[in-house]
Amino acid sequence: LPSASLPARTPPPPPPSNLTLVTMPNPIATFTTSEGVFKAEIFLEKLPVTSCNFIDLCNTGFYNGVHFHRVIDNFMLQFGCPYAKDAKSSKSGTGGPVPGSTYQCNGKTITRDKIEGCIPDELVDRTSNEIGTLSMANTGAKNSGGSQFFVNTVHNDFLDWFRPDLSESQHPVFGKVVEGMDVVMKIGKVRCDSGDNPLKPVKMISITVA
């Protein structure tokens, strides 16, 4: 009997010469405050762990009704402490997400610290703390970031995690204002008390991410 033979394989056609990779744009967060609205691109691709934590807190309403608790002219605006729902709380600046809570990131479940709700440090991207960037606040200790962040109103390169020659600070940047920087600067100029807390409270009404 003649041996069986397979039909010859037809090579696949070459890809079109104009083929390009399509990447999804980073999400945009809209910050609606009592002083106006600003928007920021969130660097989900560069810092997924940090960005997913922020997006989860936004989507669950964690930030709604929280006040900016620390504003320093020609420096930054700090925000995100749940105790700052009371604009004059003495605990402002010490709070974070619910300890042991979880969030999703690229198909994985990340569990926040069971004591203070902190997330792992994500010191991977060398974006500097330039004007208009969003950067994680922390205590200076390892893995101590949670829900608090700040918006730089000047270039604070001494806060960059990759500049140990300038300071020991390690604050990774996870976003940047793309619209409404005038609102950010307006908040940065409000009058504050001796503890850098605005005399007239500045409230975050909502943060939505799309």
For residue 79, give the nearest of 104, 58, 105, 103 by alpha carbon: 58
The rounded distance, in Å, linking the Cα atoms of 153 and 181 is 9
Candidate list 150, 152, 170, 174, residue with the active-site label: 150
Candidate list 43, 53, 77, 138, residue with the active-site label: 138
138 belongs to the catalytic site: yes
* Alpha helices (H) in the chain, listed in sequence order: 48-59, 181-188
The rounded distance, in Å, linking the Cα atoms of 65 and 205 is 5
Candidate list 149, 171, 174, 197, residue with the active-site label: 171
126 belongs to the catalytic site: no
Candidate list 31, 43, 69, 70, residue with the active-site label: 70
156 belongs to the catalytic site: no
Candidate list 26, 75, 123, 155, residue with the active-site label: 75
Candidate list 54, 57, 78, 112, residue with the active-site label: 78
Candidate list 159, 170, 174, 197, residue with the active-site label: 159
Helix/strand number for the chain, H first, E second: 2, 10
* Alpha helices (H) in 84-180, listed in sequence order: none
Token pair of 24, please?
Answer: 């999804």
171 belongs to the catalytic site: yes
9 belongs to the catalytic site: no
Give residue 44's identity as a one-letter amino acid code.
L
From residue 169, alpha-carbon distances to 26, 137, 144, 178 in Å are 27, 10, 12, 25
148 belongs to the catalytic site: no
170 belongs to the catalytic site: no
Give the HSE-up count for residue 103: Cα atoms under 13 Å, Cβ half-sphere: 26
Catalytic positions:
70, 75, 78, 138, 150, 159, 171
